[in-house]
């Protein structure tokens, strides 16, 4: 999994020949840390068919603002350097494989994958049955 920042963004995402899954995250974000193993599995599964990376929002404020990140974690899939899909909160590896397949990446979600509900781009209420993730406004300071 790539560590993305202001210095490597152009090469790793904008000029990439393959789609790139980018998670905007922070070290103090518990939901982000819970989602990290899913991203690592996704990167291993894709094995170069698409990129997977993370942006530390605390260290890369300009990228965070430029891409309109308001909640953590936020995952954006870029294709040809352009945003193709965005979700707030973590999803399953199968969900991202399905989204990448829709963008032309030769990968398959598991045969038993039935899809996931349509997720809003803004956070769900904490009592929502779909939302195991906590949604943290980006400007919330660490506790």
Specify whether 29 is catalytic. Answer: yes
Better-predicted residue by pLDDT, 108 or 88: 88
Domain that holds residue 69: 2-137
Asked about 32 being catalytic, the answer comes back as: yes
First to last CA, the chain: 27
Confidence of residue 90 (pLDDT cuts 50, 70, 90): confident
Residue 11 lies in a domain: yes
CA distance 139 to 100: 30
Does residue 128 surpass a pLDDT of 50?
Answer: no
Does 114 fall in a domain?
yes
Total domains in the chain come to: 1
Model pLDDT, residue 107: 82
What is each CA distance from 38 to 10, 41, 61, 69, 143, in whole angstroms? 25, 5, 24, 20, 25
Has residue 142 been placed in a domain? no
Radius of gyration of the chain (CA): 14
* 108 has a pLDDT exceeding 90: no
- Active site residue: 23, 32, 107, 133, which one? 32
| Residues 103 and 49 sit within 8 Å (Cβ to Cβ) | no
Mean pLDDT of the chain: 82
What sign results for the dihedral spanned by CA atoms 103, 112, 134, 26?
A: negative
Residue 143 lies in a domain: no
The one catalytic residue among 23, 29, 107, 133: 29
Interacting residues of 89 by C-beta distance below 8 A, sequence separation 6+ = 31, 35, 71, 73, 119, 123, 124, 131, 133, 135
Question: For residue 18, what is the domain's CATH number?
Answer: 3.40.30.10
> For residue 16, with 0-12 CB atoms within 10 Å meaning exposed, 13-18 middle and 19 or more buried, which class applies?
middle
Tell me if 23 is assigned to some domain. Answer: yes
């Amino acid at each position: 999994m790539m560590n993305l920042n202001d210095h490597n963004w152009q090469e790793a995402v904008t000029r990439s020949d393959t789609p790139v899954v980018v998670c905007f995250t922070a070290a103090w974000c518990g939901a982000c840390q819970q989602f990290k193993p899913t991203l690592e599995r996704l990167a291993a599964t894709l094995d170069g068919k698409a990129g997977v990376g993370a942006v530390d929002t605390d260290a890369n404020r300009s990228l965070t603002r430029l891409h309109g990140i308001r909640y953590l974690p936020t995952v954006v899939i870029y294709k040809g350097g352009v945003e193709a899909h965005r979700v707030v909160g973590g999803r399953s590896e199968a969900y991202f494989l399905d989204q990448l397949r829709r963008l032309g990446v030769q990968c398959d979600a598991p045969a038993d994958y039935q899809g996931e509900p349509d997720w809003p781009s803004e956070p769900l209420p904490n009592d929502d049955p779909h939302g195991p993730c906590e949604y943290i406004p980006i400007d919330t300071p660490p506790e």
